[in-house]
Amino acid sequence: QAFPPSALPLRRICTSCAVGMGEALSAESRHGSADNISDEPWIELEEARARSSNPAATTLRYHGGAGRGAADHFAEDYEVEGSTLGRGLNGAVLLARGRQDGQKYALKRFNKRAMSAQSLKLLKREVEVYLSVDHPGIARLCDVYECSENLTLVMECCTGGELFERLLEQERCCFSEPDAAAATKQMLQATCYLHSHNIVHRDLKLENWLYESAEADAPLKLIDFGFAKVWQPDMPLMHTCCGSIAYVSPDVLTCNGYTNKCDMWSLGVIVFMLLAGYAPFSGDTRTMKSQIKAGNVDWSGKANWGEVSSSAQDFVKSLLARDPEQRLDANAALWHPWLVRTAPRSPPPPLLRSEVLLSMQQYATASRLHKVALQLVAREMLPGETLELRDIFTGLDTEKRGAISRQDFMAALYRQAERGSEGFWSYLSFWSSAPTSPQGAAQRLLPSPSSAEGDHQKEAVELFRALDANGDGEVYYSDFVAAALASVPRLREQAVRRAFARLDGDGSGTIGEADLQRALGGAPEDGASAGEPPTPAPLEDAGAGELHAPAAPRPCGTDAACCAAGVAAAAPVTGDGGELDYEAFAQMLRDGGLTIGGSTHRRGSLRVPPTSARRSLAGPMMAQM
């Protein structure tokens, strides 16, 4: 195989990204260390909560400030094994294991006092952005531990290695077009999610895409948000010169301001190497900067490119356009003819099978505490345990924003009604009397010309709102999984225990109102007094001398107070107001239709309730939102 001059150093160029070629560029000052950093919590959690798809889940992954010390909390949750998984600009990435589930995790630890002010600024931004994202194509940030000296990040451990490593394993160090297209499509889906939600990564490269597992068809996941920034088109242009030089776009290097199109150039460099087996720019840093600024892409490897289709070459050129205005954005790139024809075809939009729909029904009518519990369990699920739900979620996201819009959701219900499956008709009667034909069902579910919020679809809209954890009009991946968990045959008990431990903020072994205040905050709704306690739910005699709150407690003034009512609903009420231990927590989930470990359903089996009961649930479903 004949390679152009730049091809021979591919191994050296890419391998050295962690220490040489990939050196971080920054036009901002890096003077001094942060000796004057405060002992107070430094991460602004409210910033992350404000952007998060699920503020409660974001809160419960951050450990700092009041309560147990971060170091003690970390030691209770994880054990560091010492193996080095990789190295970044700020040190080694170590292997850790969860003490409750025995699973592998990737760990990065930072000495805050030894870092420059600029590095600290970037790290703070990384954590706040990373805590807010939720997409199956992005490696999960599981926990953050902060004390006055250190900051520790615990992340999902992707065991399949880097995209770079897998590229080197290929004959001629390049992928076949179908394999390159499949990888490109996955990378674009994650990038499209970020850009759709006003996040720019600014350091996309082969080393920052990891395979979930060593399987040949394992999905890719994006890591390292060290240069990520919140940016949207109506904001001033970005000017910081950052990233890894081999992947940096001309508009970043010229320092005249740039947009999220910088990520698209970086993806263009990656796809170039996947297809050709060599880098588009070579030489020392000064030479590469000059080549990149001029847009002088090295297409001289005719023997390499001769086997690549003209459509694939056009795709690469559309990303490596020197003028960012001519560069494709992430959504447009997903619809380029090369990807449409070459990448594995997406299956037809999936049906929401009856088990998933019934699980969503139970989720919609659950108490606030129950919903939060499911949201936490969903984030503890292993990738292999939710493969079907991931495929359904991806299929429902027709707009490719990395989230399900209301239009996507209603279209799925339309398809289900059109097919007229038995499970759907049973579920449909939860909202209203079943129409006489699938077409009639579709008309009930879709907006009518005269009224976009007609009575015939209000319950469907309420169902969507129940899934929309942060109220922004979209359902994100983990919240979709949470709503569909009762369709999963069996949950690992370790996942449930980790979810319980997150809510048990003080480590007492029980969940009380103080824990819920920490998780959810206590800001009253409009019209409620901040100092006024919520009206407690009335108690009912449950027999055997125990009192339980009714299954559907009345809504109250704060999120935390609503959850406190859920605690009372799930556990015997004691003289001090009642707290929830693990067994009561797990039983609450079983009663909601979940099978945990070797357990079986006691009350909440997944079945279609009698018609009268289904209709009576409509009111509580709306009231609980």
Looking at the structure, do residues 320 and 369 belong to the same domain, yes or no? no
Per-residue pLDDT of 136-170, as tens digits, reads: 999 999 999 998 889 999 999 999 999 999 999 99
CATH of the domain at 138: 3.30.200.20
Looking at the structure, do residues 192 and 289 belong to the same domain, yes or no? yes
Residue 22: inside a domain: no
Residue 598 pLDDT grade (very low, low, confident, very high; cuts 50, 70, 90): low
Looking at the structure, do residues 306 and 212 belong to the same domain, yes or no? yes
- Is residue 181 within a helix (H) or strand (E), and if so which, with residue range? helix 177-196
Residue 611: inside a domain: no
Instruction: Give the pLDDT of residue 352.
Output: 80
Looking at the structure, do residues 167 and 142 belong to the same domain, yes or no? no
In 3D space, the residue among 14, 304, 266, 7 whose CA is nearest the CA of residue 176 turns out to be 304
Residue 561 pLDDT grade (very low, low, confident, very high; cuts 50, 70, 90): low
Least confident of 297-311, 432-446, 452-466, 587-601: 432-446
Instruction: Give the pLDDT of residue 21.
Output: 34
Instruction: Give the pLDDT of residue 216.
Output: 92
Residue 563 pLDDT grade (very low, low, confident, very high; cuts 50, 70, 90): low
Looking at the structure, do residues 186 and 289 belong to the same domain, yes or no? yes
Per-residue pLDDT of 248-290, as tens digits, reads: 999 999 989 999 999 999 999 999 999 999 999 999 999 999 9
Looking at the structure, do residues 511 and 390 belong to the same domain, yes or no? yes
How many domains are there within the chain?
Answer: 3
12 against 239, higher pLDDT: 239
199 against 559, higher pLDDT: 199
Q: So which residues are the catalytic ones?
A: 203
Looking at the structure, do residues 328 and 353 belong to the same domain, yes or no? no
Task: Supply 98's token pair.
Answer: 């969860």
Residue 544: inside a domain: no
Residue 194: inside a domain: yes
pTM of structure: 0.81
Looking at the structure, do residues 243 and 300 belong to the same domain, yes or no? yes
Residue 71: inside a domain: yes
77 against 418, higher pLDDT: 77
Looking at the structure, do residues 175 and 83 belong to the same domain, yes or no? no
Last residue of a domain, one of 108, 127, 156: 156
Least confident of 15-29, 161-175, 181-195, 379-393: 15-29
Instruction: Give the pLDDT of residue 526.
Output: 32
Per-residue pLDDT of 50-107, as tens digits, reads: 999 999 999 999 998 644 577 778 999 999 998 898 877 667 899 999 999 999 999 9
Instruction: Give the pLDDT of residue 303.
Output: 76
Produce one character per residue of 567-578: b if its CB has 16 or more CB atoms within 10 Å, e if not.
bbbbbebeeeeb
Looking at the structure, do residues 108 and 238 belong to the same domain, yes or no? no
Collapsing DSSP states into helix, strand and coil, what is residue 543?
coil
In 3D space, the residue among 35, 171, 170 whose CA is nearest the CA of residue 111 turns out to be 35
The binding site for ATP comprises: 108
Averaged pLDDT for residues 489-515: 91
Give the C-alpha separation, 570 to 484, whole Å.
21
Q: Which residues, 6+ apart, have CB-to-CB distance to 12 below 8 Å?
A: none
CATH of the domain at 288: 1.10.510.10
Query: Residue 414 is part of which domain span?
Result: 347-430+458-515+582-588
Looking at the structure, do residues 224 and 99 belong to the same domain, yes or no? no
Last residue of a domain, one of 342, 360, 393: 342
Last residue of a domain, one of 113, 130, 156: 156
Looking at the structure, do residues 298 and 357 belong to the same domain, yes or no? no
Instruction: Give the pLDDT of residue 258.
Output: 97
